[in-house]
Amino acid sequence: MAQTTQEQAAANSSGRWGWLVLGGVALASIAGGFALPWLLSGTTSSHGHSHEAPHQTPKNHAKDEKTAFVPFGDVVVNLHEERLTRYLRLKIVLEVEETEEKHLQELLNKRKAPLKSWLISYLADRTLDEVRGTLGMNRIRREIRDHFNEMLYPDGREVIRQVHFEEFTVQ
């Protein structure tokens, strides 16, 4: 009987050690999971020391291009809603490089009617759910930008960088 008690004590002791070792491995894994991204990112420590190269300017700022904003105008259109009469009012501004501002303004003066016609048709097909929220607004911006670039620059250049809304009202 004494032998059985000793065997049980040894089994319990080795079982506890097994759980302690397993717990220690788990804690080390968790700590490594948190520390590894921080170490690989080269983030500076609280003392200001860094393991990365001196600050370099991103390639986007190398040209130091200036931005210009060209007003397109406003558009009011009824949304495609069956039960309610809702309309959308937009005031659009186009963002381009400063060197392209004058050329874009000339193109807009020549091609404003077909651009505005397409825009009215495009927006008239949208429902209230499609224009609601940031996701809907961003999709509309992107599609307007892509189509305007395609209509104004058939050679495939993307001169219009971004479409901005000075006004975006749904009633």
Q: Please, what are the domains in the chain?
A: 1-56 (no CATH), 65-170 (3.30.479.30)
Write the single-letter amino acid at 94: L
151 touches 119 (CB < 8 A): no
Count Cβ neighbours within 10 Å for each residue of 118-144 and write b for 16 or more, e otherwise.
ebeeebeebeeeebeeeeeeeebbeeb
Band of pLDDT at residue 76, cut at 50, 70 and 90:
very high
Sheet order of strands, 162-170 included: 67-78, 87-97, 162-170
Looking at the DSSP assignment, which residues form a beta bridge with residue 109?
A: none
Alpha-carbon distances of 127 from 6, 108, 131, 136, 148, rounded to whole Å: 78, 27, 7, 10, 21
126 touches 88 (CB < 8 A): yes
Which three-class secondary structure state does DSSP give residue 17?
A: helix
Map tokens 């963002």 to a residue: 95
* pLDDT tens readout for residues 53-73: 444 444 454 455 799 999 999
Band of pLDDT at residue 39, cut at 50, 70 and 90:
low
The predicted model scores a pTM of 0.62
Which three-class secondary structure state does DSSP give residue 59?
A: helix
